[in-house]
Chain A
Amino acid sequence: MKSGVAFAFALVAMLLLGTATGSAHHPISAKFDDTKPQTLSGVVTLVDWRNPHVHVYMNVRNNNDADNWAIELESPIDLQAAGWTKESVKAGDAITVTGISARNGSRQLWATKIVMSGTGKEVLHVTPPSPPALLANRPAPRWPDKQPRLGPSAGGAQGYWAFPSSTVLSEASVPMDQYGLLRNVADASKVAPMQPWALALYQYRQRRFLQDDPTYLNCKPPGGPRQFQLSVGVQFVEDRDRQRIFVLIGGGNNNYRIIYLDGRGHQGQVGGDDDNPLYYGRAVGKWEGDSLVVDTRGFNEDFWFTNGGLPHTEQLKLIERFTRENFDTLKYEVTVDDPGAYTRPWSGGWTLRWVTGQEMPRHLCQENRP
């Protein structure tokens, strides 16, 4: 009977851990409370080096027993950029972790500092990556017909677009964090001209600290402007022979979106029509001077189209304008027209920076899913 009980508890613990791990990638505030600092000392039992977040598991002494804690860190991409490797902390290491506690009271901590107990050496130094320095006077690269290139220059250095100047979409300047979490929920109505139900739903999501975000809970694709808000970046692959542009999306699950430039309409497209709404919608574009103007509609409602949880409906229509102002700067402007959720069309935008000489990082949300 005793072994049966032990097995039963082990089974429950395994399933609970699986659930916790399965909902790992998130705005930090959705899971952790920055008003609850905590410091733990113990011995590392496992390092789980996977996207979207690395976890260090450690045993912390509790009287004559030990509790196993899950210490959550940034993604492998961010940690590697900060000089970490899989071996920076290993099973058996004695460490002291400072961080903030999980909102639900579970044995999880978001780490802001890790110190090796034996040497006192601080091993966690993650600072937000900064965009590369601007090289002055680099004009936008162009095709032989003088049309701006949105991707790498011919035969030139590789690169991709990242470091959005803003990671939120808002009609007005409203204080919120990088994930779109409002500093004051009472400001919600200033963000966009929402219908009453949409405003109430937006406030509801905000009050829950964005914990219901389907991109982070279930790896739903970041359709709409959100694909240009994520830290992992985007890449444009211009297939001129076939008159289309592939937008490769670093966040989410390395999805891609196709912008057709061959003059087709929105109906009868391969991959979607009005009866088959899509995460990235149906996009058709044309060049207006040096700007690519893209009309996208046919979205489904299974995702959040911006950081912060602004609602949308299947009536969502986006007009996006991409302008490569110079070699290193891509201006992104978007007008949101969704009479199902908003009282009028509204606009926002930001810029992206060219990351020269690097390939877009590989980031698969589903790596850390059961």
Chain B
Amino acid sequence: MRALTIALAVSVACLTGGTLTSAQEGHPLKGSWLGTWGPAKTHPNDIVVVMDWDGKAITGMVNPGTDDAPIKNASLNPDGWLVHFEADVKDKSGTLNYVFDGKIENLSFNNRTIVGTWKNQRESGQLKMSRQ
């Protein structure tokens, strides 16, 4: 029974691996990214970032909705697929300037990830987002 459990777990992993081998598309940052950037005192644990590419600039939004923040100073360095972007988030105490730095991993996959860090004037932490 234990062997069967292991086999099924491996099978699920194999199937997931198969799913991961999806097509690469256009600009690697374009799309919706969902992940975590906590725990932190200044924001919830979950993060959504929507990014677009117009041929010249990367634009987008952090946490689209009532508390959204446009991203600024975004860049992608293809040498290492390094990602940088910033966003100004307003809260009760004023404006927090968030700086995000990360790296694209699993570039070939539709659900590739950005793994890196974030920081603002008060705290810092880890960032991990997957493209949806």
Whether A4 touches B17, Cβ cut-off 8 Å, given contacts A201-B24, A214-B22, A303-B23, is no
Q: Which of A14-22, A47-55, A127-135, A143-151 contacts B (4 or more CB under 8 A)?
A: A14-22
Contacts of A196 in B (CB 8 A): 78
B39-64 vs A, Cβ < 8 Å mask (1 yes, 0 no): 00000000000000111000000000
Contacts of A201 in B (CB 8 A): 24, 28, 78, 107
A8 adjacent to B15 (CB under 8 Å) = no
Contacts of A314 in B (CB 8 A): 26
A15 adjacent to B27 (CB under 8 Å) = no
Contacts of A313 in B (CB 8 A): 26-27, 30, 53, 55
B23 adjacent to A218 (CB under 8 Å) = yes
Q: How far in angstroms is the closest Cβ of chain B from A103?
A: 14
A11 adjacent to B11 (CB under 8 Å) = yes
Q: How far in angstroms is the closest Cβ of chain A from B103?
A: 13
Nearest residue (CB) in A for B56 is A339
B1-23 vs A, Cβ < 8 Å mask (1 yes, 0 no): 10110111011001101100111
Contacts of B76 in A (CB 8 A): 197
Q: Is the interface of B mostly helix, strand, loop or mixed?
A: loop
A-B contact pairs, 22 of them (CB 8 A): A8-B3, A8-B6, A8-B7, A12-B14, A19-B17, A23-B18, A23-B21, A195-B55, A197-B28, A200-B78, A201-B107, A204-B108, A214-B22, A214-B23, A217-B21, A217-B23, A301-B25, A301-B30, A302-B25, A313-B30, A340-B27, A341-B26
Whether A220 touches B79, Cβ cut-off 8 Å, given contacts A4-B3, A313-B53, A340-B53, is no
Within 8 A of B (CB), among A43-93: none
Q: Which of A15, A19, A205, A301 contacts B26, CB < 8 Å?
A: A301
Nearest residue (CB) in A for B107 is A204
Q: How far in angstroms is the closest Cβ of chain A from B58?
A: 10
A194-219 vs B, Cβ < 8 Å mask (1 yes, 0 no): 01110111001100100011100110
Contacts of B107 in A (CB 8 A): 201, 204
B7 adjacent to A11 (CB under 8 Å) = yes
Within 8 A of B (CB), among A300-336: 301-304, 309, 311-315
A4 adjacent to B1 (CB under 8 Å) = yes
Beyond A12-B14, A312-B26, 19 additional contacts (C-beta under 8 Å) are: A4-B1, A4-B3, A8-B7, A11-B7, A12-B11, A15-B11, A15-B14, A15-B15, A19-B14, A19-B17, A22-B18, A197-B76, A200-B78, A208-B108, A217-B23, A220-B23, A302-B23, A302-B25, A341-B26
What's the tally of chain B residues with a CB closer than 8 Å to chain A?
30
Nearest residue (CB) in B for A314 is B26
Q: Which of B1, B14, B24, B26 contacts A212, CB < 8 Å?
A: B24
A218 adjacent to B22 (CB under 8 Å) = yes
Q: Which of B10, B21, B55, B79 contacts A340, CB < 8 Å?
A: B55
* Minimum-distance CB pairs A-B, first 6: A214-B23, A200-B78, A8-B7, A301-B26, A301-B25, A313-B26
Q: How far in angstroms is the closest Cβ of chain B from A356?
A: 36
Whether A19 touches B23, Cβ cut-off 8 Å, given contacts A12-B7, A204-B107, A340-B53, is no
Contacts of A220 in B (CB 8 A): 23
Query: Does A7 count as interface, using CB distance less than 8 angstroms?
Result: yes
Nearest residue (CB) in A for B58 is A197
A212 adjacent to B18 (CB under 8 Å) = no
Within 8 A of B (CB), among A1-45: 1, 4-5, 7-9, 11-12, 15-16, 19, 22-23
State in angstroms the CA–CA spacing of A199 and B24 once bound together: 14
Contacts of A7 in B (CB 8 A): 4, 7
B78 adjacent to A212 (CB under 8 Å) = no
Nearest residue (CB) in B for A212 is B108
Whether A197 touches B108, Cβ cut-off 8 Å, given contacts A4-B4, A340-B55, is no
